Amino acid sequence: MSAAAAITKESCQLLGIKSVGVDYGLVRTGVAATIGYEPTPLKILSNLNNTEVSQHVVQMCRAEQASQVIVGLPLHKNGTEANQTTITRMFAAELADHVIKNLGPSVSVLLFDERYTSKEAAARAHSKDPNRNLQGQLDAVAACIILESYYNDNGHGAELVEVDPTLYEECVNVWEEKRIHEEKRLQEEMRDRDARRAWRKEAMERDRTMEETASTNTNTKKKKKKRKKK
């Protein structure tokens, strides 16, 4: 049983909260999700810009019905920030913008220390198959490890990514417009479905009435023929 699978209600306040993990990179970005108790690799996004990566992550959050996104934050071994830290923060800020606009303000984007996840991912993959070419395959595993670490630590030390206050209201308004539009679309679909159901019911009732009428006419003709024979 993995560390994530050993989590219990007593030891983890996050149990039952579904998350998507992101190991961001300029060339490749690994994405994973908490499926049951076990983080599972979802996808590796290659050669995409921040907007495209954000759109893909939003789609996967929607598909997995995740309530938060955990983005790994690369730091030096001593905990200080590196150049990649700044780059990741910029990506996380754009991702948070996309998340609010498409999933709503209830879905959070968090940054979490990802030190040593790449080495851990390589060690795990190598232990399973020492001869396997790992190029381009570790990022999704690293995303799983980010989720494991986050859940094992009960999210302690995670940093909430906040959208610029001057843009937050605009993002929420975009989300509200999309939500209202989606509600109207679903209502229209329901009305169309009900109308089709009612039409089918009426058509079946007409067919039944016609069959009964035809049957009655046939029986009447048979009775008339019998009277003539007599």
Number of domains, the chain: 2
Determine the pLDDT at residue 7: 46
Whether 27 and 137 share a structural domain: yes
Cα 92 → chain centroid: 17
- Closest Cα partner for 124 from 144, 108, 150, 151? 144
Cα 154 vs. chain centroid, distance in angstroms?
Answer: 22
Pair (36, 132) in one structural domain: yes
Asked whether residue 66 falls in the same domain as residue 104, the answer is: yes
Per-residue pLDDT of the chain (230 residues; tens, 9 = 90+): 455 555 445 455 777 889 999 999 999 999 999 976 688 999 999 999 999 999 999 999 999 999 999 999 999 888 899 999 999 999 999 999 999 999 999 999 999 998 866 666 556 655 665 555 455 567 888 899 999 999 988 889 999 999 988 899 999 999 899 888 888 888 888 888 888 888 888 888 888 888 888 777 776 666 666 666 55
Range of the domain at 72: 19-163
Same domain, 78 and 105: yes
The pTM of the full predicted model, rounded to 2 decimals, is 0.72
Helix (H) or strand (E) holding 111: strand 108-113
| Residue 58 belongs to a domain | yes
148, part of any domain? yes
Q: Are residues 24 and 100 in the same domain?
A: yes
Q: Residue 230: inside a domain, yes or no?
A: no
pLDDT for position 222: 64
pLDDT of residue 119: 60
User: Which phi and psi angles does 160 have, rounded to 5°?
Assistant: -70, 130
Q: What pLDDT is stored for residue 36 in this prediction? A: 63
Q: Is residue 181 one of the residues assigned to a domain?
A: yes
Whether 5 is covered by a domain: the verdict is: no
Instruction: Judge if 152 and 207 occupy the same domain.
Output: no
Kindly state whether residues 123 and 191 are assigned to the same domain.
no
pLDDT of 125 reads: 56
* Distances 178 to 42, 106, 127, 182, 185 between C-alpha atoms, Å: 26, 15, 46, 6, 10
Phi, psi of 65 (to 5 degrees): 55, 45
CATH number of the domain within which 61 lies: 3.30.420.140
Burial class (CB in 10 A: 0-12, 13-18, 19+), 169: exposed
Same domain, 149 and 190: no
Chain-centre distance for alpha carbon 18:
9
Is residue 159 helix, strand or coil?
Answer: strand
